[in-house]
Amino acid sequence: MKKVFLLAFLFVSSLQSYAQLAGNCGFIATDEFMERTLSNKKNYEKHLSGNRNQMVRYVPINFLVGGKTNKSQVAASAESVLDMLCRLNEVYAVGNIQFYLFGGIKYIYNDAFYENPGIANELFVNPYREITAVDVLIGKKADTPGGGLGVTLGHYNPGKDWIVIKTSEINYSSETFPHELGHYLSLNHPHNGWDADPWDASLHGNPVSITSSPSNPSVAIELANGSNCENSGDFLCDTPADYNLGFGWNNCNYTGGAMDPNGILLNPDENNFMGYFLQCANDYNFSDGQMALVNADLDIRQNVLAVDWTPIATEITGEGSINYPADNEELSFYNNFELSWNLPSGATRSIVEISDNFLFLTTTFYGVKNGNSMWIDSDFLAPNKTYYVRIRPFNDYVTCTSDLEFTSSFKTGLNTSVNTLALDLDWSVFPNPAQSGSAVIVQVEMESTADVVMELLSVSGKILDTRNSTLQAGQNTLELTDDILSAGLYFVRLNTSKGSAVRKLIVQ
C-alpha cells in the first residue's frame, strides 16, 4: 500500500491537470477480494441474463449520515439520500436486485465522523453498524485509511465491509453509489491493476511494455483481443481491457491511442459503471457478466443480509395533501397545534419541511416523520408570520418521490394556543410523572358547562385516544385512557369551542 501511495503521489504532482479534474474511487482490490471475485465467478452462470429467473431480492441499506457535533450541519439531506437510493434501484433492477432503507436514515453527530467517516475510529462507528444490512457511511470526505489518487469520491473498504461516500456524490445523478455497491458485491474495476497508476506512455510504453500491472503486479495485463480476459483485469470477458484510461479523460469517447502489449488499440467501455470515465452524461450501465457476478455474491451474502423482506408497497400513487392548517389559513395562535396531512397510497413516511421562505431557502423545521401528522409543540414559529410547508412522501423501498411533494402555507396568529385557553381553563394531569400501568387523572375546573374533547397524543403527534365529555361548572375528573401506557413522553390536549390547550405527560 505504501508503494502504491508513493507512485500515486508522484503521478499526480507531475500532471496537475489530473489532480484538478479527477475524482475517483478509493477502492483497490486486495488479494482476498480478488479471490472472492473468482470464487463467485464459479457460480455465476445461473445469473447470466438468459438464465436469470430469480425473484427480486431486497437488500437493506443502513445509511449513517455524519453531522457536526453541535448539530448545525449534516453531510446529506434526507431528500438527497432518497434520490441516491432511487437511482441505485433503477440501475440494479435489470439484475433483479433492489435496495431498501433499513430503519430509516440515521444521523451521527460527531465532527470527526462528519468530516471523514472512512477514517473515523472503528470502535466509534461499530455501535451504529448493522450486521444484516449494507453499512453506508456519508461524510464531507470519503478518504481511505491509505490515502489515494486525486479526490476520493467514495470507496468500499473490504476489510471493514462498509461503503463510504462523500457529500458531493449524494444525489440522483452521481455514479458513485452504484459503483461502490458493485465493489461491495465483488466487482473489480475494469482497469483492475491500474487503479492508482493510469496508463502513461512515458512510464508504461506504447504499446505497453511492462509485463505486470503497475498498481498490483499479481494482476496480469489484459489484452485487447480478450484472449486472457478470464484471468486479468476484472476477470470478466464482457468488459474490454482498460488501463485506467478514464481517469482525467474529459469526454465520453476515448481516443488516447493506448495500445496493449500486442500493439492493438484499446477500446474501453466508457459507459461502464465500474470504470473511471466520468463524463458520459449519466449514461452508464453494468455488463451482463457484472450483473451475474453481483448476484452470485448476493447468493453468499443473503445468509447474513436481511433479504427476506417485502416492501409494504412497490409504488406510491395518487397525490398527498395537507389537512391542517388548510392552505392559506390564518391561525388564531402560533404554536401548539397538530400539522396533519394525507399521504398518497403506499407512502408511510414523510420528509417535513417548514420555512418562512416560499422557495424553502431557510429552514424553520426539517425532519423525517412516520405517519401523517406532527405535533408543533415548540416555540419555533413566530407570531403573525406566513410559513410554508413542504412534504415529500416515501416508504422504505419507494424513494423516487421528488415529484410527489406537496406544499401549503399558513399564517400564524398573535397568541400562543395555551394562553388563549388559560384564561378559561384551570386543569392538570396527575400523577405526572405517572407510572406505567397506573391510572392517570385529568382534572378540569370549568366556569360553565361545555363540551370538551380530550385527546392523548404520542410524542410524534399521533392521536392515541379520544374522549368526548360534557363538563359541568366546577371541578371535573376524567380518566385519561383505559390503555396501559408504556414509558415515554405524551401530550394531553383539551379541545373546546374556544380552542385547545396542551399538557405534557411523562410516563416512567
Count of alpha carbons within 13 Å of 119, Cβ hemisphere only?
Answer: 14
Residues facing 492 on adjacent strands: 456, 503
Shortest distance, position 27 Cβ to Zn ion, whole Å: 4
Binders of Zn ion among residues 161 to 190 (CB under 5 A) are none
Shortest distance, position 168 Cβ to Zn ion, whole Å: 16
Cα–Cα distance measured from residue 455 to residue 462, given in angstroms and rounded to the nearest whole number:
10
Cα–Cα distance measured from residue 42 to residue 363, given in angstroms and rounded to the nearest whole number:
53
249 near Zn ion (CB under 5 A): no
Shortest distance, position 249 Cβ to Zn ion, whole Å: 16
Shortest distance, position 25 Cβ to Zn ion, whole Å: 3
Q: What is the length of the chain?
A: 508
Cα–Cα distance measured from residue 30 to residue 218, given in angstroms and rounded to the nearest whole number:
10
Nearer CB in complex with Zn ion: 27/58: 27
Q: Which stretch binds Zn ion (CB under 5 A): 18-26, 63-71, 401-409, 418-426?
A: 18-26
Neighbours of 244 (CB within 10 A): 28
Cα 487 → chain centroid: 30
Nearer CB in complex with Zn ion: 272/373: 272
Nearer CB in complex with Zn ion: 194/410: 194
Q: Which stretch binds Zn ion (CB under 5 A): 23-31, 71-79, 279-287, 468-476?
A: 23-31
Q: Do the beta carbons of residue 97 and residue 186 sit within 8 Å?
A: no
Cα–Cα distance measured from residue 366 to residue 354, given in angstroms and rounded to the nearest whole number:
7
Provide the sign of the torsion angle of the four alpha carbons 461, 467, 470, 472, taken in this order.
Answer: negative
Cα–Cα distance measured from residue 308 to residue 423, given in angstroms and rounded to the nearest whole number:
56
Q: Which stretch binds Zn ion (CB under 5 A): 21-29, 61-69, 247-255, 387-395?
A: 21-29
* CA proximity to 66, closest of 56, 51, 81: 81
Shortest distance, position 99 Cβ to Zn ion, whole Å: 18
273 near Zn ion (CB under 5 A): no
Q: Do the beta carbons of residue 176 and residue 165 sit within 8 Å?
A: yes
Cα–Cα distance measured from residue 388 to residue 378, given in angstroms and rounded to the nearest whole number:
17
Nearer CB in complex with Zn ion: 25/221: 25
Nearer CB in complex with Zn ion: 188/372: 188
Nearer CB in complex with Zn ion: 25/485: 25
276 near Zn ion (CB under 5 A): no
3-state SS string for 377-411? CCCCCCCCCEEEEEEEEECCCCCCCHHHCEEEEEE
Shortest distance, position 351 Cβ to Zn ion, whole Å: 30
Q: Which stretch binds Zn ion (CB under 5 A): 22-30, 31-39, 277-285, 464-472?
A: 22-30
Q: Which stretch binds Zn ion (CB under 5 A): 17-25, 211-219, 311-319, 368-376?
A: 17-25
27 near Zn ion (CB under 5 A): yes
Shortest distance, position 153 Cβ to Zn ion, whole Å: 9
- Say which amino acid occupies 245: L
Q: How many residues bind Zn ion (CB under 5 A)?
A: 2
Helix axes 288-301, 176-184, angle to 10 degrees: 60
Shortest distance, position 142 Cβ to Zn ion, whole Å: 11
25 near Zn ion (CB under 5 A): yes
Q: Report the residue number whose CB is nearest to Zn ion.
A: 25
Shortest distance, position 120 Cβ to Zn ion, whole Å: 20
Shortest distance, position 172 Cβ to Zn ion, whole Å: 19
Residues facing 465 on adjacent strands: 456
Q: Which stretch binds Zn ion (CB under 5 A): 19-27, 61-69, 170-178, 248-256?
A: 19-27
469, three cell numbers? 365529555
Nearer CB in complex with Zn ion: 114/177: 177
Task: Kindly write out the interface string for residues 472-491 of this chain, putting x where it contacts Zn ion by CB under 5 A and - elsewhere.
Answer: --------------------
Nearer CB in complex with Zn ion: 175/338: 175
Shortest distance, position 64 Cβ to Zn ion, whole Å: 20
Cα–Cα distance measured from residue 388 to residue 366, given in angstroms and rounded to the nearest whole number:
12
Cα–Cα distance measured from residue 490 to residue 335, given in angstroms and rounded to the nearest whole number:
17
Cα–Cα distance measured from residue 94 to residue 299, given in angstroms and rounded to the nearest whole number:
17
3 state DSSP class of 442: strand
Task: Provide the binding-site residues for Zn ion, judged by CB under 5 A.
Answer: 25, 27
